[in-house]
Amino acid sequence: MAKKKVQEKKKYDNPDVVGLRAEVLEQPITETLETNYMPYAMSVIVSRAIPEIDGFKPSHRKLLYTMFKMGLLGGGRTKSANIVGQTMKLNPHGDAAIYETMVRLSAGYQALLTPFVDSKGNFGKVYSRDMSYAASRYTEARLSAICAEIFRDIDRDTVDFTDNYDGSMKEPTLLPTAFPNVLVSANSGIAVGMASQICGFNLNEVCETTINYLRDGGHDILSTMPAPDFPTGGEIIYDRTEMENIYRTGRGSFKVRARWRFLPKENIIEIYEIPYTTTSEAVIDKVAELIKSGKIREINDMRDETDLGGLRLAIDLKRATDADKLMQKLFKMTTLQDTFPCNFNILVAGNPKVMGVREILDEWTAWRTECVRRRVYFELSKKKDKLHLLKGLEKILLDIDKAISIIRNTELESEVVPNLMMGFGIDQIQAEYVAEIRLRNINREYILKRTAETDELERDIEELEATLNNRRRIRSIIIDELKQINKKFVTPRKTGIVYADEVEEFDESEQIEDYPVTLFLSREGYFKKITAQSLRMCGEQKYKEGDALLQSFESSNRRELLLFTDRQQLYKARVHDFEDGKASTLGVYLPGKLQMDEGENVLAMIDPGDYTMPLLLVFENGKAARIEASAYETKTNRKKLINAYSDKSPLKAVIPLPEETEIACFSSDGRALVFSSALLQTKTSRTTQGVNVMALKAKRSLVSAAPLAQTQIKNISRYRARSLPAAGALLKPEDRGEEQLSLIEE
C-alpha cells in the first residue's frame, strides 16, 4: 500500500520557535482519496457539471427560481445586477459565475433554441469569441414566456424542496418542466472522470415526438425528430445510420457545416450561419493562416461584417474562382464544417447515466408522471379538506340559533370549540372553522351558498381519485399539456438537413497538378524531387562530402511517400509538399522537414501506391517479414506512426512487392542468398519479425537486401534457395558489385 512519507519529530533551527515541533502522520493514500478527493468528485458530478432529468444544472435552476420568486415571470425587466445579487442567496459561487449563467440562458446570447431569459442590452453572441457581454449593471432581464411551462404548478407540491446552503430558505431540487427540456436545451459539462455533451432539439419536434411516443412505445423517433437543431443554424450532414446510433446509445458524432451564398455582382461569398461549435474569429484566423501558408490562393480578403442583422462573413474572391470548389476546400480545412460529439450523460436520481433518446423519454415520462400525480393528489387533498369543513357547516345549518346560543353562553373563549364539537358532533377542525365565521355571515343564506358547493366538490374528488388511480388519465394530461405548448410556442427549425450522399467532399488531389518526377534520397537523409525536363538538362547529382545516393525511383507529384527510420517509426509525406529541385542542389533535409526525433535517420523511402501491394521488411538477424502496405494506411492526416516495425533487430531493407519477384540478401561474411518472395506468407501485424530467411553464423549479420534485378549477380542458380532458411553461397568475383564489396567485412 502506498503511503505518505513520514517525517520524524524534530526541533526547528529558528531560535524564535524553539520548542515547536512538526509532525507528519502516516496515512494510507486510499484513505486520503476517500476522505478528501471523493467528496469533491461527487460534488462536481452531482451538484455542478451534469444536468438532471429536468434539463438543468443546479446553477441554472437556482438562477431561474430566484427570478421566478422575484416576480419576473410576466412582469417587467429588472437590472441584471439585481438578479445576480438575489441569486447569491441560493448560489454562493460569486457574481461573475452567476451572471455568465444568465448570459448563456438569455435570448441575446443565442446559445439556446428556446431561451429562458428575456434579455435587453448587450449579452454578447455565442458565435463570437471577442464580442463580450456588457456588465450586469447595464443589462436588464426577465423570464421568457416559456418559463410558465417550466414552473407550472411548482406551488402545488409537484417537486421536492430542500434547504439552501445556509438553511435560510427553501429551493426546488428539480423544476417541474411540462416538456422534455433535457432534449430541448443544449448542455455541456466536464465533471471528474466523466463529461456530458447534449445537443439541443427543436421544441415542436420534441413535443410531437413525446406525444407520439406516449401513445405508441414503438414510435419511430427519427420520423418526427430527424436530427438536432442549433440556434446558430447551419446544415447537418445527415447519415441515418449514424443518427440512429446516437439516438440508441447516447454517444456518437455528426457533422455540421456553415450556410453560404455567392454574390456574383460583387464576386463575394457571404457566410451567414456557422456551426454551433465554432466562432467567427476562429474561422477568420484559420483562413488567414491558410492564405499565409499558400494553401489557399483564391481569396483576396476576408472580413467580419456582422451587425445587428446577424452574422456575416464576407470573402472577396479572385477572378475566375469557382465558389463551390473554394467552399469545399474551406469546409475541409477550417471549422466551417465541424463535428459535434454527443454524450447524453444525465443525472437520474443522483446517478449519472448515459442514455439514448428513447431511454431519456422513458425517464422523463416517469418523472413527469410523478409530478402530475403529486399535483392531482395536492388538489385532491385541498378539496377533501374543504369538503370536510363544509360538512361541518351543513350541521350548523340544522340549528343556527343553537350555535349562536352555545357561543354566547360559553364563559371561556377556550371552551367555545369544545362546546361546538359536543353540541353538533363535529371535529375540532370543523368547529374551529365555524367559530371563525364572522357574525354577519351567520345566516341561512350564507350557509346555504357555501354548502351548495358540496355536491360539486364530491364530484371533483371522485374525478381526481379516478385520475390518481388511472395511469392512462395521467398520460392524457401530459399529452394535453404538450399539445398546448406545441401550439403556443411555435419554433421554426433553424438547422437544415443535407444528406451525406448529396455532399461533395473536397478532393485535395484534384487541386494538385500531377506530373512525373524522379525522387532521390541520400544516405544522410537529403531528398530531391526533380522533373523529367530538369533531369534531362542536369548534370551529375550533388551530395555533401561523404554522402551518396541511397534510393532513387520514378513517381508523380500526387503520390504519397512512406519513410522508414531507424527508431521503428514511419513518417508520411506527400510528394507535392516538396518544391521541385535540381541536381545541382543538396535537396531538403528530411529529419528537419518532417520534425524527426533528434538523431533519427531515414532508412528507406517507399511509394505505397494505392496501399494494396505487400512490403518486405528485412532485418539484420536474417529474418524477413512480409506485410501489407495497408497496415500503414490511415484515414486521418497523421504524419507519424510509432511501432512501424519490430524492434528486435535493426531494419536493413524495405522492398515493395508489386508482383512476386526474387530477392537477394547479402551477409557480412561475403555470402549471398537468392529466394522467391512467394515463399513468404503475409503477416497481419506490422511489428512481427517474420521468419528466418538467411541462416547466419555466429557474429555474422545480414547487411543488405534488394530485388535480384538491381544486383550484380550473374550466377543466379549458385545462390538460389528453394526452401528457407538457407545459408546461401560465397560470392564469386564476377557476382560482386561495388556496393556489395564495400559491405563485406575484411
How much is the pLDDT for 24? 64
pLDDT at 11 over 80: no
In the CATH hierarchy, which top-level class contains the domain 373-488? Answer: mainly alpha
pLDDT for residue 738 is more than 70: no
Banded pLDDT at 445 (limits 50, 70, 90): confident
How far out from the chain centre does Cα 739 lie? 56
Question: Could you check whether the bond before residue 92 is cis, i.e. omega within 30 degrees of 0?
Answer: no
CA atoms within 13 A on the CB side of 611: 10
pLDDT of residue 406: 87
* DSSP H helices in 338-399: 357-397
Check for a shared fold between 50-177 and 259-335. Answer: no
Q: What pLDDT does 567 receive?
A: 92
Q: What is the pLDDT of residues 400-411, one digit of tens each?
A: 888 888 888 888
pLDDT tens profile 670-717: 999 999 999 999 998 999 989 999 999 999 999 999 999 989 898 899
- 538 pLDDT more than 90: no
**Count of beta carbons in the 10 Å neighbourhood of residue 88:** 14
* CA distances from residue 120 to 79, 111, 241, 387, 624 in whole angstroms, order as listed: 9, 15, 42, 48, 73
Q: Which three cell numbers stand for residue 578?
A: 516538396
pLDDT at 744 over 60: no
Alpha-carbon gap, residue 272 to 307, rounded angstroms: 11
The second-level CATH assignment, the architecture, of 50-177 is Alpha-Beta Complex (3.90)
Q: What CATH number labels 259-335?
A: 3.30.1360.40
Q: pLDDT tier at 23 (50, 70, 90 boundaries)?
A: low
Residue 725, preceding peptide bond in cis (omega within 30° of 0): yes
Integer angstrom CA distances of residue 314 from 94, 284, 306, 694: 40, 10, 9, 66
- State the pLDDT at residue 444: 75
| Contact yes or no for 225/244 (Cβ under 8 A) | no
For residues 180 and 360, give the distance between their C-alpha atoms in angstroms, rounded to a whole number. Answer: 9
Per-residue model confidence as pLDDT tens digits over 248-291: 999 999 999 999 999 999 999 999 999 999 999 999 999 999 99
Q: How confident is the model at residue 533 (pLDDT cuts 50, 70, 90)?
A: confident
Q: Could you tell me the pLDDT band of residue 235, with boundaries at 50, 70 and 90? A: very high
For 481, list phi and psi in degrees, rounded to 5: -65, -40
Tell me the average pLDDT of the chain.
Answer: 89
DSSP state letter for 136: T
Output the pTM of the full model: 0.73
pLDDT at residue 509, as a whole number: 56
Query: What is the domain partition of the chain in residue ranges?
Result: 7-41, 50-177, 259-335, 373-488
Range scoring the smallest mean pLDDT among 42-46, 573-577, 729-733? 42-46
Q: Which residues are known catalytic residues?
A: 138
Give the tens place of pLDDT for each residue, 491-517.
999 999 999 888 877 666 556 778 899
Per-residue pLDDT, 65: 96
Q: Which residues pair with 49 in a beta bridge?
A: none
62 pLDDT exceeds 50?
A: yes
Average pLDDT over residues 323-346: 93
Q: Say whether pLDDT at 335 is over 90.
A: yes
What is the four-CA torsion angle of 281, 286, 288, 290, rounded to 10 degrees?
Answer: -170
Whether the pLDDT of residue 741 is over 50: the answer is no
